[in-house]
A and B are shown apart, each in its own frame.
Chain A
Amino acid sequence: MNAATKPGIKRGVSLYSYQEEYYLRNLSLEQCIAQASKIGAYGIESIGEQMMPGFPNLSDAFYEKWRGWMQQYGTVSSCHDAMLDTKKYKHRLLTDDECMVEFERDLKHAAKLGAKVIRVLCMVKPEIMVKAVPIAEKYDVKMGVEVHAPYYFDHPWIMRHLEAAQKLGTKHYGLVPDMGIFTARLPRVARDRMERMGATPKILDYVSAAYETGELSEYIIFEARKMGGNQLDVAWAEQCRHSVNTNPKRLTEFMPYIFHIHAKFYEMLDDGTEYSIPYHKIIPALKAGNYQGYLSSEYEGNRHIQDAFPVDSVEQVRRQQAMFERLLAA
């Protein structure tokens, strides 16, 4: 049984996770795929503009090579992350018709990779999605709007997307939740970076602790100012407003619309848990909803430590995948 047809929750990696190594040319695209395969994370999610130079004008030879890698490493293409550069022109946004051209381009690319899903950025309007549905159906590639903090499942913008999808009754318009919507604790690695930049440790600690209690962001921001916080301290407090800690049980309820999952993480600890995001609550909720898609690792800690420490994305992803293995088997 291959990776794509196995029933149950499947493990995968978004190559976004290995951006640091790719950026510095320490890992090639093929080596990133090989790393994911090595740890049994067979679903490969990719961003054309990140590791496929020349995108969107890729040659047939590239796609052949890609399919060859999938075969060689026992992997499948799980998802293509579409970007939709609506600000391509300096003085105007893309028109709806121009957006459709981009959608068709991305859906076609996904189909050529063998991906069944594209991730659509959450800022894309429901009206645009509705127009793109016939194209998605033509290529049989599902479009999932990313539910990324500060959006969350019940956010009015996401609700509008769901209502639009329900009205059409299509199987090609849904969601790709990013597990950052379950941020129970602000990333410690981000806090420490703020301290290195010149923030006040006492205020950073106050903010992190207050966030964990669920205190309203506006109160925390106000308090950080009152404590005499500098610009960085206040920026850290404002991070509370960009972060959300919602109930993982909501995953079960929204399951019919969940096509793919961004398993965001910032820091895997030595004990095999993630500092900010409670996967021990997320995975049971996915099981309860009989989720059949991918848990796609999305490491985003590198940007918080790269100024001061060597980044080892490969090890971070390995640890997260080991945690998934353990939680999935439980």
Chain B
Amino acid sequence: MFDRYLICEETARNVTEGGKTTGFQFGARIAYYRGLGLSMVEGIGVSVDGEAVPSENIRFTVTGGTFTLAQMETEYEARWEFGEVATVTVLKPGGLAAGEHKIELTEQMRIAYLPFPLTGRDTKVVRIG
């Protein structure tokens, strides 16, 4: 649901801290018809140009703060609101090279009434630089 809208491709950019490029980030929307507390967002998976990003290198930012995926598991306050553009940051020294990259995002959510996890998937070509 909403799969084509998950990655906000126009927001993709490298992240620079203290003059150093530490990674890249992009905006992401939830693949569900309502917002969820972060503890129920079980998985955020990113791959770039076909290569999966190790989950410990992913940071997830919503209005309520920035979290590692492990921290999200026990985060019961902060929420990913419906339609909110969260920021997915990938820690990667040097970031992405200028030019086009194919980004794939998967979201996996734990929903009370569904026997299986709800999954959303989007692939977009983004331009860096």
Contacts and interface: CB of A to CB of B under 8 A. Distances in A.
Interface stretch (B48-56, B95-103, B105-113): B105-113
Contacts of A31: none
A60 interface: no
Interface stretch (A83-91, A217-225, A278-286, A317-325): A83-91
B39 A88 contact: yes
A6 interface: no
Given A22-B83, A88-B37, A90-B73, A306 B113 contact: no
A53 B110 contact: no
A307 B34 CA distance: 19
Contacts of B42: 90
A86 B114 CA distance: 11
Contact of A49 (B3, B35, B73): B35
B39 A24 contact: no
A194 interface: no
Contacts of A123: 112-113
Interface in A274-321: 303, 306-307
Contacts of B5: 23-24, 306
B4 A86 contact: no
A88 B42 CA distance: 11
A25 interface: yes
B125 interface: no
A121 interface: yes
A3 interface: no
Interface string B34-68: 11110110100000000000000000000100000
B40 A23 contact: no
Nearest to A16: B33
A51 B37 contact: no
A232 interface: no
Interface in A48-97: 49-51, 53-55, 83-90
A89 B74 CA distance: 8
A19 B1 CA distance: 11
Interface residues of A, number: 27
Nearest to A122: B113
A47 interface: yes
Given A23-B29, A50-B82, A87-B112, A307 B35 contact: no
Contact of A89 (B39, B82, B83): B39
B9 interface: no
Contact of B34 (A25, A83, A87, A89): A83
Given A50-B33, A53-B35, A90-B73, A23 B112 contact: no
Given A49-B82, A50-B34, A121 B113 contact: yes
A53 B84 CA distance: 9
A90 B42 CA distance: 8
Given A49-B34, A49-B35, A87 B83 contact: no
Given A22-B83, A23-B2, A83 B33 contact: no
Interface in B12-46: 29, 33-37, 39-40, 42
Contact of A90 (B29, B110, B111, B113): B110
B82 A22 contact: yes
Given A23-B29, A53-B35, A88-B37, A83 B84 contact: no
B1 A303 contact: yes
The 5 closest A-B pairs by CB, nearest first: A49-B34, A23-B83, A50-B34, A86-B112, A87-B110
Interface of B: 1-5, 29, 33-37, 39-40, 42, 63, 73, 76, 79, 81-84, 110-113
Interface of A: 16, 19, 22-25, 47, 49-51, 53-55, 83-90, 121-123, 303, 306-307
15 contacts: A22-B83, A23-B5, A23-B29, A23-B82, A24-B83, A25-B83, A47-B33, A50-B34, A54-B81, A88-B37, A88-B76, A303-B1, A306-B2, A306-B5, A307-B3
